[in-house]
Copies of this chain bind each other. A is one copy, B any other.
Amino acid sequence: MSTTVDDELWSAIGDPTRRTMIDLLLADGPGTATSLSRRLPVTRQAVSKHLAVLDRVGLIHAEPAGRERHYQVDEAQLARAVAQLSAVGATWDARIRRIKRIAEAIERTRHNDEGE
């Protein structure tokens, strides 16, 4: 039933701003709160909070560089997160397919009954 420890991972990825931030970090390489905020519709402080969340769940990690803090995606952790995403998706897919099979079986039975 999927409700376990990785809930924090989901809610980390669930936020659209955070998802875009991950996109930007992957596309453009490491960045700071300020550099990210320039490419997002939110303030630097909001970005900073999101970075803290992503850092806490381990999806990114910071590297202090002088007066700046360079954030960078932890590829292994993100890969793990993606795997969990698709796991849930796969589960749902499987259940949907099972339901459809059952529905078809019932359909067939009904036809047989009518045919008698």
A residues neighboring B (CB under 8 Å): 1-3, 7, 10-11, 13-16, 19-20, 22-24, 26-27, 73, 75, 78-79, 82, 85-86, 88-89, 91-93, 95-96, 99-100
Please pick, from B23, B82, B100, the residue contacting A93 in the complex, using a CB distance under 8 A: B82
Looking at chain A's contact residues, is the secondary structure mostly helix, strand, loop, or mixed? helix
Copies of this chain in its oligomeric complex: 2
Contact B19 A88 (CB under 8 A): yes
Also in contact, A86 and B88, with CB within 8 A (given A10-B16, A10-B19): no
Contact B99 A26 (CB under 8 A): yes
Shortest beta-carbon distance from A56 to chain B in Å:
17
Could you say which residues of chain B place their CB within 8 Å of the CB of A86? Answer: 85-86, 89
